[in-house]
Amino acid sequence: MNARENPVAGAVAQPIAIQPVAQAASGGSQAALRAALLGNPNCGKTALFNLLTGARQKVANYAGVTVERKEGWLTTPGKRRVRLLDLPGTYSLHAHSEDERITRDIVSGLHAREAPPELLISVTDATHLRLNLRLVLEARALGLPMVLVLNMSDMARRQGIVVDREKLSQALGVPVVESVGVRQDGGKELLAWLDSDEARNLQAPPVDERWKPKAGQSAKEQLLALHQQVADIMRIAVQEPQTDTQRDDRIDAVVLHPVWGTLLLIVTLFLMFQAVFSWAQPVMDGIEGAVGSFGGWVKDAMPEGMLRSLLADGVIAGTGAVLVFLPQILVLFFFILVLEDSGYLPRAAFLLDRIMGTVGLSGRSFIPLLSSFACAVPGIMATRSISSWRDRLLTIMIAPLMTCSARLPVYALLIGAFIPEKTVAGLFNLQGLVLFGLYIGGILSAMAVAWVAKLARTNKARTPLMMELPAYRWPSPRSLALGLYERAMIFLRRVGGIILTVSIVLWFLASYPAAPEGVTEAAIRYSFAGQIGRWLEVVLAPIGFNWQIAIALVPGMAAREVAVGALGTVYALSASGDDAMAQQLGPLIAHSWSLATALSLLVWFVFAPQCISTLAMVKRETNGWRYPLIMAGYLFALAYLAAFVTYRVALALGWG
């Protein structure tokens, strides 16, 4: 193995020559310091980066690869300028994934277009210092000036962990500061250190003869020596409380049981989808009434004309039809955040690894697929942690089958319009049952695709899942509130951005050219949108779609939830004088469509890749259009086939 493949031998590498920080000609002020944040995944490194740099960030990709490059600027209280690079998280400088190789090459001085930093800010999770110190020791051996940051220090104190910073600093030969990346003033100690004389006269950490690898040591022996060094440092500088794991062990005996744990997971997901309809409905009714009243007020207050039609039938009808589903999205994410903060989700990953292995998926695929329930884009990005290209590609190809939050407005509209709101077995909400079934359908479809891919390959070996199971804890109300606020803002930005834009464009296509004089049908039939809809209706009629649905599917390629806004615009412009009905999209489609059509459209959205952002992300992650086109082709084929079967079976059952 050459130096580029493995620049770090055990815990020691060749020191990098560091030039002293340049001094400006006047005033003695320093030029901008080039610093980089290094740390394990989930140590709070990026939270600290966001805290320090705020909005002064630039995000791009490293040249030639798909790894994201985040750089920001900060100014210390002493007016020192720092250019800060957020390196991809890694557990070791022995790189396996693309992200880890980028980090390794930059800190080792091997990257072709990125000079090594003048200062390495090594961020650690103070609550799991033992797991973080291996990377710290590897980085220290590079010979770069370094400062160690004990992040989450407040949480460590609450857990009874005492870190003697002076002894830790002496053992490592580097300064040690504390931070809390999620607090507004959590980076003040690091900023103060950056203004200190020590930071203005950077020195590489001294060479410690005790930590040099012995001549003739194998890689395994060097690794064992590294772990012994970590143990020695922990014994000298860290006092950890005696942890009573009996409570967690008793809970895990049930949660991780192959039978009871699986049943508990199914029940948890089932109750979550029940709550999506039961809890959110009153708020949804209020939003729907407000949108309808506002649209009616605009029509009453403005003279008839193009501007009134644009506002009432385009902007309000389009964005309002999507906005009404915000409460359901927040209820869904409330449950996801609670399960994550409580420590349950990693256990669900561990439990499902056995099932995923039967269809040839790597256990490492669970976290990216779980992320895809929120959105396939971050889910696909999360596959970068999978070292096997085969496993990573398969995970990317099935990620869009996970039911993302963008599908929820479509599902909620159709379920609310066609599935009666009644109780099953005196306990369960029928609408929640149908939604649960759609989520399960997406999961089973993904497993089926993975199983077919497994049959087609020769090497069926699995990558074992190794992960830390955190202690059970009560979710933080503040974290829940921040998480829900973030999701609401993301949704509202989409409503105010892409959905608003598409609604306006669709209004134009649906309004022009004007209908000939004397016609009795809705003018939209003679517009550009109407013509496109009739052309597509020929292809989509076998699966039960009318021309209004066909129109909505085209702008719905931008994002799935846009289809709801598009339907709102189309039906608002299709109304023949019944403006009140046009404002209530659910009752209108329930009156206009058959149950067979609604079921067919539901199944269509389980499979159809109606999200340009997802396809663009696949192109970015695979460096070409081959796999995005394969993904779009197989998903559209599955969507058409499943919708055709559903529609024909529904007709045979008399649901036409």
C-alpha angle 584-590-594 in degrees, rounded to nearest 5: 155
| Amino acid found at 96 | H
Query: What is the average per-residue pLDDT within 564-581?
Result: 61
Q: Are 600 and 593 in contact (CB under 8 A)?
A: no
Q: How many CA atoms lie within 13 A of 450 on its CB side?
A: 32
What percent of the chain is predicted at pLDDT more than 90? 21
CA distance 572 to 292: 11
pLDDT at 177 over 90: yes
Q: Residue 409: CB partners within 8 Å, gap ≥ 6?
A: 322, 325, 328, 329, 560, 561, 564
Q: Are 458 and 367 in contact (CB under 8 A)?
A: no
Residue-wise burial string across 54-92, b where 16 or more C-beta atoms lie within 10 A, e elsewhere: eeeeeeeebeeebbbbbbbebebeeebebbbbbbbbbeb
CA distance 372 to 293: 36
CA distance 156 to 164: 12
Q: Residue 175: CB partners within 8 Å, gap ≥ 6?
A: 147, 148, 169, 193, 198
From first CA to last CA, the distance across the chain in angstroms is: 66
Matching residue, tokens 């999961």? 443
Q: Residue 489: CB partners within 8 Å, gap ≥ 6?
A: none
The pTM of the full predicted model, rounded to 2 decimals, is: 0.59
Query: Which tops the pLDDT comparison, 568 or 313?
Result: 568
Q: What are phi and psi of 95, to 5 degrees?
A: -75, 140
CA distance 638 to 634: 6
| pLDDT value for 22 | 38
Tokens describing residue 600? 């067919």
Q: Which of 643, 621, 645 is nearest to 631 (CA)?
A: 621
CA distance 17 to 109: 9
C-alpha angle 26-29-34 in degrees, rounded to nearest 5: 130
Q: Looking at the domain 33-239, which fold is it?
A: Rossmann fold (3.40.50)
Q: Which of 559, 60, 618, 604 is nearest to 379 (CA)?
A: 618
Q: Are 384 and 67 in contact (CB under 8 A)?
A: yes
Task: Name the pLDDT band for 24 (thresholds 50, 70, 90).
Answer: very low
CA distance 311 to 305: 10
Task: Name the pLDDT band for 208 (thresholds 50, 70, 90).
Answer: low
Q: Which residues pair with 66 in a beta bridge?
A: none
| pLDDT value for 374 | 67
Matching residue, tokens 């340009």? 612
| Amino acid found at 311 | L
| pLDDT value for 4 | 34
Q: Are 312 and 572 in contact (CB under 8 A)?
A: yes
Query: What is the average per-residue pLDDT within 550-574?
Result: 74
> What residue ranges do the domains of the chain occupy?
33-239
Q: What is the pLDDT of residues 232-256, one digit of tens each?
A: 999 999 988 866 667 778 888 888 8
Give the E-state strand segments of 515-607 in sequence order.
none
Query: What is the average per-residue pLDDT within 85-92?
Result: 87
pLDDT at 267 over 70: yes
Q: Are 503 and 495 in contact (CB under 8 A)?
A: no
CA distance 560 to 557: 7
Query: What is the average per-residue pLDDT within 429-433?
Result: 85
DSSP per-residue codes, 598-651: HHHHHHHHHH----HHHHHHHHHHHTSSHHHHHHHHHHHHHHHHHHHHHHHHHH
Query: What is the average per-residue pLDDT within 168-174?
Result: 92
Cβ-in-10-Å burial (0-12, 13-18, 19+) of 242 comes to exposed
Matching residue, tokens 């086109």? 629
Q: What is the pLDDT of residues 452-493, one digit of tens each?
A: 988 877 665 555 555 566 677 777 777 778 778 777 776 677
Q: What is the CA radius of gyration of the chain?
A: 29
pLDDT at 135 over 80: yes
CA distance 569 to 203: 65
CA distance 407 to 416: 14
Query: Which tops the pLDDT comparison, 283 or 61?
Result: 283
CA pseudo-torsion sign 649, 650, 654, 656: negative
| pLDDT value for 20 | 41
Q: What is the pLDDT of residues 576-627, one digit of tens each?
A: 443 433 347 788 888 889 999 999 999 999 999 877 778 877 887 787 889 9
Q: Which stretch, 212-221, 415-424, 489-498, has highest mean pLDDT?
A: 415-424
CA distance 546 to 600: 12
pLDDT at 645 over 80: yes
CA pseudo-torsion sign 178, 182, 183, 187: positive
3 state DSSP class of 41: coil
Query: What is the average per-residue pLDDT within 16-28?
Result: 39
Average pLDDT of the chain is: 79
Q: What is the pLDDT of residues 391-425, one digit of tens each?
A: 888 999 999 998 887 788 888 888 988 988 888 77
Task: Name the pLDDT band for 6 (thresholds 50, 70, 90).
Answer: very low
Q: How many CA atoms lie within 13 A of 214 on its CB side?
A: 10
Q: What is the pLDDT of residues 328-363, one digit of tens each?
A: 778 877 887 788 778 787 777 777 777 777 887 766
Query: What is the average per-residue pLDDT within 100-126?
Result: 88
C-alpha angle 11-12-17 in degrees, rounded to nearest 5: 140
Q: What is the pLDDT of residues 272-321, one digit of tens each?
A: 767 766 777 787 778 777 877 887 788 788 887 777 777 776 677 666 66
Residue-wise burial string across 587-613, b where 16 or more C-beta atoms lie within 10 A, e elsewhere: ebbeeebbbbbbbbbbbbbbbbbbbee
pLDDT at 18 over 50: no
Q: Any idea how long the chain is? A: 656
Q: Are 494 and 561 in contact (CB under 8 A)?
A: yes
DSSP letter at 217 equals -
| pLDDT value for 124 | 94
| pLDDT value for 314 | 63
Q: Which of 317, 160, 309, 310 is nearest to 240 (CA)?
A: 160
Question: 183-187, 388-392, 511-515, 642-646: which has the minimum mean pLDDT?
Answer: 511-515
Q: Residue 252: CB partners within 8 Å, gap ≥ 6?
A: 347, 469
Give the E-state strand segments of 114-183 in sequence order.
119-125, 146-151, 162-163, 176-178
Angle, helices 408-418 vs 326-341, to 10°: value is: 120
